Chains A and B, each alone.
Chain A
Amino acid sequence: MVRFAEGDRGAFRDVFDALWPILLALATRSLPSRADAEDAAQCAMLKVFDRIIDLDRSRDGVAWAMTIAGFEVLTLRRQHQRRREDGAEVDLVDQRPSAIEEILDEELRASLLAMIAETSQRDRAALSAVLLGAKPTGEAARKRRFRAIERLRSIWRKAHG
């Protein structure tokens, strides 16, 4: 490592081959998943080679590289933890509707169904198709649906203003 840091480009392969198993083993011991360990080890390798020109000759190069790998492992762990916390927040936001909302929905639904029952047979069939989400088969069906919705709207206005 010292040779490579001092400018001997020929030492690159030796440094790479010696460091990879050490950093991968460290990451594998510290992280539960193999994929995460490989990611952390790769990031650590790139950071080691990015900063290798700053390597202090008087210190142990492998210990220095392992420190960088340790920081990478910690960063990855923190990212996972943050992702889990974000997921918990989403769960809190996506709660089921409250009991009052459910009652209001039920009332609206019942009122709507009562009004549909007041319409003619043909309009009821057209509105049922709309509620079920079926697509109109032709221009005539589309117009029938439109007229049925307009009649239902006028009935709703009469009842609720």
Chain B
Amino acid sequence: MVDLEDLARRAERTAEWSRVCMACRISVPIAMLAGATIAAGASITACACIAAALFVLGATLRWRDRIGVECVTAGLALGAVPAMAALLLRGCGIECRELTALAGGDALCLLAGVLTGLGVTWQASCATEARWWRWIAMTLIASVTAALACVGLGGAALELTLLAVFATASLALIPMAVRTT
């Protein structure tokens, strides 16, 4: 005779463990991005801290529900735009340590941040459910992903990119909010 209570406990534990394993698979792209940033000459401590924060945030969202999984995937893809720009600049030997004048590097970071912010709001507005929750989750993931790569460029690039992401995503929210109401 099967002990159904015991089987239910085992099944629940199996399902939860499976969710945790799936959530932790996010460590692979994060580790690759962190490795590329460190290889480009960024501070190991700063990269490790931001990568750890991104992992915790991403894994928690992915473990939570399917919307979290979708948000993390989209957020990482959108955050990869400023990340690639930062790695490209770093590869060319450009650094943006002080925000005195908008040089070529700063402008590229700003443009990448704007594109990411627009992409986040566009993705959230295309969803049929939980638009606001998606917007918040995607903005957070994309920002931290961008920060991970921009940390090697210097403080100015980091600030500029994050500002561009948040400002553009927030401004683009207005038409989305109008459309929703």
| A residues adjacent to B (C-beta < 8 A) | 4-8, 12-13, 16, 20, 38, 41-42, 45-46, 48-53
Contacts and interface: CB of A to CB of B under 8 A. Distances in A.
B68 A16 contact: no
Interface of B: 1-2, 4, 7-8, 10-12, 14-15, 17-19, 22, 64-68
Contacts of B66: 5-7
A49 B65 contact: no
Majority-rule SS of B interface residues: helix
B7 A42 contact: yes
Nearest to B22: A53
A20 to B, nearest CB: 7
Nearest to B68: A7
Contacts of B15: 4, 12, 49-50, 52-53
11 contacts: A7-B64, A7-B67, A12-B11, A13-B8, A16-B8, A20-B7, A42-B2, A45-B7, A48-B11, A49-B15, A53-B22
Contact of B65 (A6, A13, A51): A6
B15 to A, nearest CB: 4
Contacts of A53: 15, 18-19, 22
Majority-rule SS of A interface residues: helix
B18 A51 contact: yes
A49 B18 contact: yes
B58 to A, nearest CB: 15
A6 B18 CA distance: 13
Nearest to B66: A6
A51 to B, nearest CB: 7
A7 B19 CA distance: 9
A135 to B, nearest CB: 48
Contacts of B12: 12, 16, 49
B16 to A, nearest CB: 8
Contacts of B17: 50
Contacts of B18: 49-53
Contacts of A4: 15
Contacts of A7: 64-68
A151 to B, nearest CB: 66
A4 B12 CA distance: 11
